[in-house]
């Protein structure tokens, strides 16, 4: 996995995928859908359509609005299209790593876009290269493409299923052939994928907000371990993995999903507001004002204010014309953006006992800067509250989160975190409290209802590549001991 030395307190996002079949404005609607999913990745974007003969494609570094406008239907014609917003987890930010990716297979062209991370991609890639495969990118997405190409099964769908049965990890993918739009979700349901309908057309997207922006009707979530096939004949559903309870990523509720999205029938905004209610109950504080760290801390801060009776105020103003710092690939750009991103509202903060509410703390760097800024604005006391539990383990399924050695809560005791942040008090939402806010009052310890490994260390799938890394480390240490 490729990591960048990000100076920010947010989990670095996955990606967003979108696909539509059966509308002559497919590429335009795809661009709109990607625009709604822009929060999931701002590094690069791409769209591939099918015009009846060819698969015209455009891929660009940067955001959707910068590239996909004007005569888009003329540039990317056809009644079907797929698109992708990228934030790199596997594969460095470069043009050849932008999706959708495309290949001419034995049965015809196949384009694919993928959200997530394969935890055995490195092992599979090594085997494929040994067998003669030639890779054009460093993305784990291309591993799936090669597995489809090399499958001996006779039909395309069988070849796709054959490929998916060989991979481990979390993923949601959309694919486009000359006759079909396909969508698939990993056996655990880690990465999200929903099905919608717009007139006679069908839509696949990472979140319901992408359906809303084009006026599509939500049909259902794609199930874990399911492949959906959309064609002129309608929709087919195929299961490629043994049925098991889903374990979707809990960070969709904590941070990733847009507040106006619906995840598993739950309003993300309402869940985050209830997180604030629960946080206030678990970590009460005598203070004058509740201040969110915008924008992601706003719903939880509102909930904290409602439950505590302490007034809610916008004590920090965010400049929305500065991009998210963790999306920017260079350290210099991130440092500059952090200093311009937030400004203190001195009229709210001066002389006050302030409760700062944020959705999470990853490295602690930006939290320290925020606290210092509020202190310099004249706050009398600062109490920091996180609307998620302490993050003590990295993720390997598409969230490019820091290594464990960089995670603030993993390398400090509670008292050390208070001293490092220079706050009067610090509080985190508990794991049971998070489940309660989502609507699951008791966490099932035998089969957790959500992938909560960042808080608990219980990973839902084998971590093949990571386990090999650990084995290599142990072997190297053993050799040193023998020397």
On whether residue 8 sits in a domain, the answer given is: no
In the prediction, which pLDDT does 332 show? Answer: 45
Query: Any binding-site annotation on 231?
Result: no
In the prediction, which pLDDT does 88 show? Answer: 60
Q: Last residue of a domain, which of 219, 247, 275?
A: 247
Q: Is residue 108 domain-shared with residue 169, that is, in the same domain?
A: yes
Q: Is residue 303 domain-shared with residue 441, that is, in the same domain?
A: yes
Active-site annotation holds for 15:
yes
Judged against a pLDDT cut of 90, whether residue 402 lies above it is answered with no
On whether residue 467 sits in a domain, the answer given is: no
On whether residue 390 sits in a domain, the answer given is: yes
| CATH classification of the domain holding 392 | 3.40.50.2020
In the prediction, which pLDDT does 162 show? Answer: 98
Question: Distances from the Cα of 153 to the Cαs of 106, 145, 160, 419, in angstroms?
Answer: 11, 14, 9, 60
| Spatial separation of the C-alpha atoms in residues 261 and 209, rounded to whole Å | 5
Judged against a pLDDT cut of 70, whether residue 457 lies above it is answered with yes
Alpha helices in 201-308 (DSSP H): 208-214, 251, 268-282, 298-308
Query: One of 15, 209, 249, 454 is an active-site residue; which one?
Result: 15
Q: In whole numbers, what is the pLDDT of the chain averaged over residues?
A: 90
Q: pLDDT for 30-53, tens place per residue?
A: 999 999 999 999 999 999 999 999
Q: Is residue 342 domain-shared with residue 210, that is, in the same domain?
A: no
How does residue 168 score in pLDDT terms, banded at 50, 70 and 90? very high
In the prediction, which pLDDT does 10 show? Answer: 64
| CATH classification of the domain holding 26 | 3.60.20.10
Q: Is residue 156 domain-shared with residue 276, that is, in the same domain?
A: no
Judged against a pLDDT cut of 50, whether residue 475 lies above it is answered with no
210-227 mean pLDDT: 98
On whether residue 165 sits in a domain, the answer given is: yes
Contact 85, 152 (CB under 8 A): no
Q: Is residue 164 domain-shared with residue 122, that is, in the same domain?
A: yes
On whether residue 468 sits in a domain, the answer given is: no
Q: Is residue 236 domain-shared with residue 285, that is, in the same domain?
A: no
Domain count, the chain: 2
Q: Is residue 294 domain-shared with residue 397, that is, in the same domain?
A: yes
Q: pLDDT for 89-98, tens place per residue?
A: 555 557 888 9
In the prediction, which pLDDT does 466 show? Answer: 74
Contact 270, 257 (CB under 8 A): no
Q: Is residue 299 domain-shared with residue 378, that is, in the same domain?
A: yes
Q: Is residue 107 domain-shared with residue 178, that is, in the same domain?
A: yes
In the prediction, which pLDDT does 6 show? Answer: 35
Q: Is residue 149 domain-shared with residue 286, that is, in the same domain?
A: no
In the prediction, which pLDDT does 243 show? Answer: 83
| Spatial separation of the C-alpha atoms in residues 112 and 169, rounded to whole Å | 17
On whether residue 472 sits in a domain, the answer given is: no
In the prediction, which pLDDT does 4 show? Answer: 28
Q: Is residue 211 domain-shared with residue 307, that is, in the same domain?
A: no
On whether residue 281 sits in a domain, the answer given is: yes
Q: Which residue has the higher pLDDT, 322 or 115?
A: 115
In the prediction, which pLDDT does 334 show? Answer: 45
On whether residue 474 sits in a domain, the answer given is: no
Query: Any binding-site annotation on 296?
Result: yes
| Spatial separation of the C-alpha atoms in residues 444 and 38, rounded to whole Å | 34
Residue span of the structural domain in which 347 resides: 267-456
Query: Any binding-site annotation on 425?
Result: no
In the prediction, which pLDDT does 328 show? Answer: 46
Q: pLDDT for 319-342, tens place per residue?
A: 877 554 444 444 444 444 555 688
pTM given for the model: 0.89
Q: Is residue 303 domain-shared with residue 407, that is, in the same domain?
A: yes
In the prediction, which pLDDT does 474 show? Answer: 40
């Amino acid at each position: 996995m490729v990591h960048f030395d990000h100076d920010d307190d947010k989990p670095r996002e996955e990606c967003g995928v979108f696909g539509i079949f059966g509308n002559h404005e497919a590429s335009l609607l795809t661009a709109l859908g990607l625009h709604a999913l822009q929060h999931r990745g701002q590094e690069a974007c791409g769209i591939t359509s099918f015009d009846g003969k060819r698969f015209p494609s455009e891929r660009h570094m940067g955001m959707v609005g910068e590239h996909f406008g004007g005569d888009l239907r003329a540039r990317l014609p056809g009644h079907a299209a797929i698109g992708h917003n990228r934030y790199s987890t596997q594969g460095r930010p470069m043009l050849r790593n932008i999706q959708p990716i495309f290949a001419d297979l034995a049965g015809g062209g196949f384009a694919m876009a993928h959200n997530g991370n394969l935890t055995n991609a490195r092992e599979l890639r090594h085997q494929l290269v040994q067998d003669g495969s030639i890779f054009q990118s460093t993305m784990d997405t291309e591993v799936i493409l090669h597995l489809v190409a090399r499958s001996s099964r006779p039909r395309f769908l069988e070849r796709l299923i054959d490929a998916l049965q060989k991979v481990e990890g979390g993923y949601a993918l959309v694919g486009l052939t000359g006759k079909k739009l396909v969508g698939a979700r990993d056996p655990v349901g880690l990465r999200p994928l929903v099905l919608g309908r717009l007139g006679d057309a069908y839509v696949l997207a990472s979140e319901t907000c992408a359906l809303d922006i084009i006026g599509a009707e939500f049909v259902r979530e794609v199930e874990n371990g399911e492949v959906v096939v959309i064609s002129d004949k309608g929709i087919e559903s195929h299961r490629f993995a043994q049925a098991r309870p889903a374990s979707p990523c809990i960070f969709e509720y904590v941070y990733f999903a847009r507040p106006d999205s619906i995840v598993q029938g739950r309003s993300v905004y309402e869940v985050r507001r209830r997180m604030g209610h629960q946080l206030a109950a678990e970590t009460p504080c005598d203070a004058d004002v509740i201040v969110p760290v915008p924008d992601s801390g706003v719903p939880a801060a509102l909930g904290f204010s409602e439950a505590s009776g302490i007034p809610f105020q916008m004590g920090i103003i965010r400049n929305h014309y500065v991009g998210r710092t963790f999306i920017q690939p260079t350290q210099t750009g991130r440092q500059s953006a952090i200093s311009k991103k937030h400004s203190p509202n001195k009229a709210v903060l001066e002389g006050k006992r302030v409760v700062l509410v944020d959705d999470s703390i990853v490295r602690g760097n930006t939290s320290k800067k925020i606290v210092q800024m509020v202190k310099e604005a004249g706050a009398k006391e600062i109490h920091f509250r996180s609307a998620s539990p302490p993050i003590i383990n990295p993720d390997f399924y598409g969230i490019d989160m820091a290594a464990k050695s960089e995670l603030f809560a993993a390398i400090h005791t509670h008292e050390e975190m208070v001293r490092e942040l220079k706050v009067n008090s610090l509080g985190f939402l508990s794991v049971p409290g998070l489940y309660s806010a989502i609507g699951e009052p008791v966490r099932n310890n035998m089969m957790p209802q959500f992938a909560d490994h960042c808080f608990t260390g219980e990973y839902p799938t084998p971590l093949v590549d990571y386990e090999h890394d650990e084995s290599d480390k142990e072997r190297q240490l053993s050799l040193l001991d023998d020397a």
